[in-house]
Structure formats: C-alpha cells, structure tokens
Structure 1
Amino acid sequence: MPVLITEKHLAASDKRKTISDSKQLGFALRTTPNGVFTFYYQHLNKKTGRRDWHLIGAHPEWTPARARTEATRLAGLVAGEKDIKQIRHQKIARDRAEGVSFKQVHDEYISFCKQPVDRRWGTVPRKETWRGIQYSLARALKWWGNRVASEITSADIKELYESYVREKHPAQANMVRGNLRTMFVWAMHDDRRYLAVNPCTKQLEDDKAIEKADIDDGRVLTADELRTLWFGLDDPKCPGTRGARLALKLSLVTLLRTGECVAIERNKITATTVTIPLAVAKGRRSKKARDVVQPLNSLAQEILGEVFAGDEGRRYAFPGTSGKTGGHMAQGSLSVLMGSRTTKKNSRMGICEYLGLDDVTPHDLRRTGACILEQLGYSDGVIGRVMTHKTADKDAASVTRDHYLVPVQIIARPVDPRVSALNDLDDALREIFGLPRGGSIELPAPPRLLTAA
C-alpha cells in the first residue's frame, strides 16, 4: 500500500523491501538488509507493455524530497511521450565524452601529493605519505579506473569499504575511505570542479568498522621474553645483520622510534646525547616543533660505540644496503625482519620465529620500555617527555597512557616514586653540604634467644 516516503523509512530491514510513494505515482524506495537505500521511478512502457524502472539515486546523496522532485520530472517526460532510457543513454554518452575518469582524478591527485614544497625541515613532497595513499587507493583504481568520477556513488564507496571489512581489515577500510574522501574534496575544489557531490558522505555509527583505537595496540614483553630477545639478538645465527639487530636494541634502551633510530648520524651524537633532526622527528608538523635531543644512557652509548668503532667514514649509524655513501636503513625493514615466518609464502625466517617469540613488533620494544619506567615510579608526564609525546600545556599526553602503559608487570617489584624523590633530595643536599655519598645502614644483629638449659 502506498505511503508518503520520508526519512523514517530509511531503516535497514531483515529483507529487501519496495515502498511506493502515495504523493507521486511511480516513485519508489528500495531497502536492503545491509542498509543501502535507493530511489526509483517506474512506469508502464506502452511500446513493450512492461514496466520500466529508472534509478534516481541512493541515500544519503538523495533525500526523499529531492528524489520525489526528480521522479516528478521524469513523470513529466513520460507524459510528454519522451523516452527516458534514450534521454539517459544520450546524457551518459555525453558525460563520458566530456567527463573526467576516476583514473584521471587519481593520477592528478597523486601528482599533486608528490609535488615538492618547502617546509621548515627542508624540501619534501606536499604529502610525505603519498606512497601510502597511492597504495591504499590501488583497489579503488582497479575497480573504477575507467568510470566517470562523477558517476561513483555512496553505494560504490560502501561496497569497496565492506570488501576490506569482509577480509578482516577494518583499520585499512577506514584508511581507504578517509583517503578517498580527501581526494574527492580535492577534486571538488574551485580550481578543478571534477565533482559536484562527494560520494564519501558521513558514515552512520552502525556502519563503521572497528576504529583504530579499538584495535589492540600491541603487546608488552615479560622479563623472560626481554632476556630471550636481548641475548638472542647477540646470536650470530639470528636472522638479520648485526646493525639491524643493534637498531632494535637501541630503540628499547632509548625509547626512540625505530624510524628515528635508523636515521641517527655520526655528527648528531655527543658523549651524552643524540639529536634527531626535525625532518625525521615524528611531531615536526607542530608549529613549536624542534629537533629531538635524547639523552644517552650507558647501554645506548655502548651500542653506538660498537656501531661506529673502527669506521671513521660512516655517516649513518645504520646505513642502508647502498653502504656508507647511501642513505640509512629503512624503518620497514626492521618490521619485516622481526615478523617474517617460513610458514608464509616466499618468506624467510624472522627474529621472532628464530627466538620462539610470539608476534613481537619493533614498536612493542618502545612500549615495553615505557611500562618499565612506569613501574620504576615515573609519572605519565615524564614518560611522555622521554617518548617525545608533545602536548600544548607541557603536561602528560593522553597517548602515553592510552596506548603505551599496559598493566603487565615486568620488573620484580615496582618502585615507590617517593623513594626515588627522597634519594634525589639526598644527592642534592649532599652536593650542597659537600658531604660524601652515604653508604648503607649496618643494623645490629638481632639478639640471640635464650634457650632453656
């Protein structure tokens, strides 16, 4: 029975439904269990004696009111004995001849992202992650390459999105959709106007895949696993070069990101610190961002000492495959080295498989170091500064607590922060008074208990 089609009818049903409109004859809404809502206009074709169905569009690009207006226009064409199919075929042919294909938009957008621009940290591509953007759009390019960009609908976007979700890659689905939306916004700019409407409309909460924040960030190594990894990396038979294995160790003892560790240069190292240039630092886009100057503890000094020992011409602590004259080691190579397994096609044995560790990533080492600092009594703010997590008010960054400090005990007994504070006070007062460092208290032996004769 016809009803007035409104927004309330845009609800997913357990089966496909067709709802006819009571206001405009021939106007209809089709719903599906997966939440796709499309509007149609249908009429009796006097030549064939059959009903012709004409797609108007899908929600949310088309609202019920807008779709009803279009159905009224089509009804007027039918009343004037016009052939709607023929008119539409002519329009599609004209749009294809004059329109811009998805591949053209994609290629021009990637070229735009690759254009060199001057930043405070040097000349870099406009979007330094352009390779990742290009990779994420590969499937969309394969599916829609020759289609006119303006013909791509929200239903097409949803179909692509759900293809990643079915493969159990929700984070990738979100990333692909975000990159598509950004590209379409770029295509709609006044300088281009390749599109009039962005098909990547805002998603309903129920339609979203798992957000990145809901996905397990990683793991923290136990004390036994740390010992297995640390001494296993010294095993000559352990996969990878000695340099790559030392880069992993350096990330653990300095809490620097592996991308920062592999980019360390000889001339940026002093006896007590290492400087990570703004071009490499993670938070360089902040207006107040500066080079990262990270203190070096004794373990870090030993690692860097071994790296540069007897090699005066070496520029990077961890050079790439091209050797001394080339660039530094690729950050991604450390992830591959850790996670490779012989069970995967065309893969070699990685460090985790060799040492019998369960899916440890390079970033897990940084997380483990952060958890040890917390168990030593340091606050979120101090740990965040060691990890170079930036905040506007110089207080603790929420990312430190949310993604790094995991309640997994690593050291034998967590330290009371008051002990560290009072020990530091002790050292300061002794320096002021010129007193030598104190020793431990020698308590008298407990009295011996008398026994009955």
Structure 2
Amino acid sequence: MKKKLTDIYLKTVKAPEGTRLDVYDAEVPGLILRVTDSGTKTFAYKYKIKGTDKQARVTIGPYPEVTLDAAREKARGYRAQQRNGEDPRLEKMAKVAITTQVATLTFGEVCDEYIEKYSKVQIDSWKNDVQLLRRPRDKFGRRPIESLTDDEFATFLEEMAEDTPVQANRTQSKLFQVFKWAKKPGRKYVKVNPLEDLDHFGKEEPRERVLDDSEIVTLWHGLYDPDCPGDDSVKEALRLILSTMVRPGQATGALRTEIPELKGKEPLWHIPKLRVKKRRDIIVPLNDVAVGIIERQLKNEEQIVVFPSRFEEREEIQRNSLSQALTGRPKKRMGIREFLKMDHFTPHDLRRTAATLARRAGAPRPDVKATLDHIEGDVTDIYDKYNMLPEKTAVENILGNELKRIMGAKL
C-alpha cells in the first residue's frame, strides 16, 4: 500500500496478526516502512536494478532509532546514486566491510539480503523462505547476527517444536542455510554457524493420516461456521485440496488465467512448472465440486488470483497460511482444528484423504497415481503430462461424487 508517512502514523500503525505490512511512502519513491505483527518497524529502500527486471532492497534502519526525516534523506541519497548509475547496495556492502570490527549487520538485515540475493535468484518458491524466517526474525531480527548463539537457537527451536514439530525442523534447516550463506567469503558476516551442531528438535511421525467420513463432514461444514477462525480464502483452499488432490502450494497459488474454460464442459486447470515437483507443467481436470469452490472465490472479472490474501489485494495466500490457520497460535489465537475439536491433521493429509476416497469408490490405482502426479522418474513419465486426461477426469469425477455422497450433496 502507498501512503504519505507521518510521525503520528509511524507511532500508531500496526500489522495484522500473523503477517507483516509494507507501506510505500508517497513523498519519496522507493522508501518503504515494514511493520511486523510483533511491532517491529523498519525503513528500507526498494528499487529496480539497472538493466534487469529484478528489484533490490536496502535496509535503512529501525524506527524510531531512525527518524522519518533521516529515512527520507537516506532514500533521496539512494535515488541520487541511481541517477548517477550507481547501485545503492555497493555502498552498504562497502560500509559493512570497513566497519566489521566495530559493528555488524543485524540478523534481520542478513535475512533480507539472503532473500534478495539468494532465494529470489535461486529458488522458485522463495516466498516459502520468507515465511520460514518470519518467526526467528520476530525473535532475533534486531540483534547483531554475530551475537546469536547455538544455545539461543536451541531454546527457540525446542519451544517451537512443542507445538509445530515439522515447522520447527523446516525452520531449523533454513536457518542453517542462512548462516552458511552468511559465512561465505565475500560476506563473512559470521565466523561460525550456530546451527551446525544442533540436532532436529521436532519429532516427525510417518505421514499416514486419513480423515474418516465423519471428520470430512465436520471439517467441510465447520469451515462455513462464521465463528470458525481463518479467512475465507484459506478455508476454500483447504476444500479445493480435498476435492482435487492437488498439493497445498498448488492450490494457494492458483490463478484465473490457469483455468481459461472454467464454465466449459470439461474444465482443465493448467498448473505451471513453477508450482510442480520435477518442474514441468501439468493439467488437472476439475470436477463440479472444485469448479463450485473456484467460482465462489472469483468475486469479479478483475481478480487475478483465486485465493487472494486479505493483506495484499493482488497477492495470493501463502502455502504456510493453511498450516497456520489449522494450528492457530498457541495462547494467542485458536486454530481451525481446535475450534472443530478435530485430531491433528495437515493440509497435505487432505490430499491423501482425497486419494483414499477415490480409490475406495472404485478409481483404479494407476489412474489415482497419475492424478496425484506421482512419477517414477522415467523419461516417458516426465513427458506424459498431456496423456491420461480421460482417466484423470474419471478419477476427479469419482472423487467429487464421493464427497457429495458423504456430505449428502450439501456442499
């Protein structure tokens, strides 16, 4: 969002719980105020790298330590550098190199640089990195990165694992990568990697969870309860997984343009390789249950994403939003599972449940496997993306009919 920043606004602005807010200053182009739900407020300057379509971000500093006037002055200086053909990042990197014995970058600043220079360049799903680093950034973001210890991370991850063991392990792995990157020659922001000798704290059980019919009814209808926590986009994305077998990240990233003939006789969902394992395009036939979900979500002709985030008008919800909605935030916000009094299950368990329903209703195993997009690595499998559409269509229709039977056609 864009707004003319004022001191009153800086003092009072808050980010909605579970997210962060980026506010672009209307007075100085490129100046951003980033606000986290923990109350951290940081100025940064965002700009387009000359000769490319990529954008870079340079952290200016935290508010109120850095005043609005000082942030604007710094941003204007960066704009002047750009007009002279210079890259503002080089100045900051040079300062870090010169002052490394006296001061160091904060953990939050290193995370920003890691996302901009590594994740966005190397990883298609870089937004997952942003989500994985959110909680450690809220905890340690203002601390000099060299001051962080293995004991602190051990305590942090151990506490996280008590509620979300799988997420704790994913976060730990990402933190290890960040510190490994920060330790490399040319940066050397840290001398040691405090995650190097830590064992994983989260105990991950084998994924075998399948919801029974009564649980499916409880979940499906419970998501319509106006008191049920979670945004409508998140709830409908959970239903779409259960009615199509797609992966959670494929559901949350769905775009209108990927389903060009939604109202046709045999609507097809073209999922690009960006959101597919093995990085190749796939096609998912849609049954009438899935079509109904998508039609409910598309509110107007201008809507681009099927499941928009309430925080970013043109941005989709994140894959992690599904898990967070199911779990909630201990002692802060109730999750969907707790509200519906259901045993633990994950978004991916809904995909497994959907496959089980289709098999139970008579869908052949090889056809279900094709619908799940499970391949063995054979060259033929990889290039067979357009084949088996009739079989996959039959599987999806069997799944839709089974859901209607379980629900008594009240979807």
TM-score normalised by structure 2 residue count: 0.52
Name the structure 1 match of 2:355.
Answer: 370
Q: 1:110 to 1:133 in 2, by over 3 A?
A: same
**Correspondence for 2:333:** 347
**Root-mean-square deviation (Å):** 4.7
Cα gap change, 1:306 to 1:291, in 2 (>3 Å): same
1:386 aligns with 2:371: yes
5+ residue gaps, structure 2: 1-98, 383-390, 396-411
Greater relative contact order structure (CA < 8 Å, 6+ sep): 2
Change (3 A) 1:313 1:376: same
Q: Is the 8 A contact 1:114 1:127 kept in 2?
A: no
- What is the Cα deviation at residue 274 of structure 1? 1.0
* Equivalent position to 1:327, from 311, 315, 323: 315
The one of 184, 199, 202 equivalent to 1:208 is 199
Report the Cα offset of residue 251 of structure 1: 1.3
Deviation at 1:275, TM superposition (A): 1.8
The structural deviation recorded for 1:222 is: 0.8
Say if 2:253 and 2:316, in contact at 8 Å, map to a contact too: yes
The sequence identity of aligned pairs, in percent, is 26
CA distance in 1, matches of 2:107, 2:281: 37
**Structure 2 CA distance, aligned partners of 1:354 and 1:109?**
34
Partner of 2:236: 246
Q: Give me the whole-angstrom Cα distance separating, in 1, the residues matched to 2:172 and 2:119.
A: 26
Aligned equivalent of 1:189, options 184, 191, 195? 184
Distance 2:302 2:145 in 1: 54
Match of 2:303 in 1: 314
Determine the structure 2 residue equivalent to 1:164. 157
For residues 292 and 220 of structure 2, the distance between their equivalents in structure 1, rounded to whole angstroms, comes to 14
- Determine if contact 2:145/2:190 at 8 Å carries over to the other structure: no
Q: Deviations over 1:277-333 (max 9, x none)?
A: 334x143xx4xx22332111232223334444x84443333333269x623344444
Map 1:34-183 onto structure 2 (within 5 A): 99=101, 103-104=105-106, 107-108=109-110, 110-115=112-117, 129-133=129-133, 135-136=135-136, 139=139, 145-146=143-144, 156-157=149-150, 160-161=153-154, 164-165=157-158, 168-169=161-162, 174-175=169-170, 177-183=172-178
Larger radius of gyration: 1
Structure 1 residues not aligned, in runs of 5+? 1-96, 398-419, 425-453
What CA distance in whole angstroms lies between the structure 2 residues aligned with 1:315 and 1:147? 39
Flag the 1:196–1:235 CA change in 2: closer, same or farther, 3 A.
Answer: closer
Aligned residues: 281
Measure the CA separation in 2 of the matches of 1:115 and 1:160. Answer: 24
1:221 aligns with 2:207: no
Cα distance in 2 for residues equivalent to 1:179 and 1:331 = 16
2:269 is the alignment partner of 1:274: yes
Q: Deviations over 1:240-276 (max 9, x none)?
A: 5655433322110101233322332323212321122
Query: SS of the counterpart of 2:133?
Result: helix
1:138-192 C-alpha deviation (Å, 9 max, x unpaired): 65667xx45857xx8xxx5256425633675465665555344434433443323
Superposed displacement of residue 216, structure 1: 5.2
1:357 is aligned to: 342
Structure with the higher helix share, 1 or 2:
2
Q: Secondary structure at the match of 1:129?
A: helix
> Residue type of the partner of 1:161?
A
SS of the residue 1:267 aligns to: helix
Q: 1:329 to 1:100 in 2, by over 3 A?
A: same
- TM-score (ref. length: structure 1): 0.48
Q: Which amino acid aligns with 1:129?
A: D
Aligned partner letter, 1:228 = T
